[in-house]
Amino acid sequence: MAERVAAAGEKAGAEVRLRQVPELAPQEAIASNAAWSQHFDQTKDEPKATVDDLVWADAVLFGTPTRYGNIASQLKQYLDTTGGAWAQGKLAGKVYAGFTATQTAHGGQESTLLALYNTVYHFGGILVPPGYTDPLKFADGNPYGVSHVTGANNDAPLGDVQLAALDHLTERVLTYAAKLAA
């Protein structure tokens, strides 16, 4: 999902930084789940997110797996490190939105995005959710962002609906970020 958002941003002419927050889980936990272990191995050398990345950006699209209807602890810890930049107002006035994935339908996607947005409100960020601003959102069904059901094996590929929804979300966020920058 993050790769699709980054590609959509680049296609729209945006300068994009694709970042990953550091993994916090113990190696035993990661190794106990084949999909998690594979993902860890594939992304361990990816650039890690810093607070400076948020300060730099005019628009931020956060992605997180859903954990019990909430954001992943890894993202929460990263957000908890932003206090200095927040206190200086460096995270305010930027456009924010989010996307998530769960293993099951009704697995907490909407509550995860709402929980994520609590931090954005504290930043003084400008939330630009997709709402039902395009007919594809009636198929996607998530006005708070974009969500995907991976299935129990975490292997369900993104379908045309999710890909289009990610593109729409990215375009919408970039449109409003450009209006603010003008």
Q: Which domains does the chain have, with CATH numbers?
A: 2-181 (3.40.50.360)
Q: What is the DSSP letter of 58?
A: S
The pTM for the full model equals 0.94
Long-range Cβ contacts of 114-118 (<8 Å, 24+ apart): 114/144, 115/69, 115/70, 115/71, 116/62, 116/64, 116/71, 116/75, 117/144
Give SS3 for 96. strand
User: Looking at the DSSP assignment, which residues form a beta bridge with residue 148?
Assistant: 101
Asked whether the beta carbons of 23 and 181 are under 8 A apart, the reply is no
Q: In angstroms, rounded to a whole number, what is the distance separating the alpha carbons of residues 150 and 62? A: 18
pLDDT in 10s for each residue of the chain, 182 residues: 999 999 999 999 999 999 999 999 999 999 998 888 988 999 999 999 999 999 999 999 999 999 999 999 999 999 999 999 999 999 999 999 999 999 998 889 999 999 999 999 999 999 999 999 999 999 998 999 999 999 887 788 999 999 999 999 999 999 999 999 98
Q: Cβ atoms within 10 A of the Cβ of 108, count?
A: 18
Q: In angstroms, rounded to a whole number, what is the distance separating the alpha carbons of residues 53 and 36? A: 25
Report the pLDDT value the prediction gives residue 163, as an integer from 0 to 100: 97
The packing angle between helices 2-11 and 160-181, to 10°, is 50
Q: In angstroms, rounded to a whole number, what is the distance separating the alpha carbons of residues 56 and 30? A: 31
Give SS3 for 64. strand
- CA-based nearest residue to 165, from 63, 47, 15, 17: 63
Asked whether the beta carbons of 115 and 144 are under 8 A apart, the reply is no
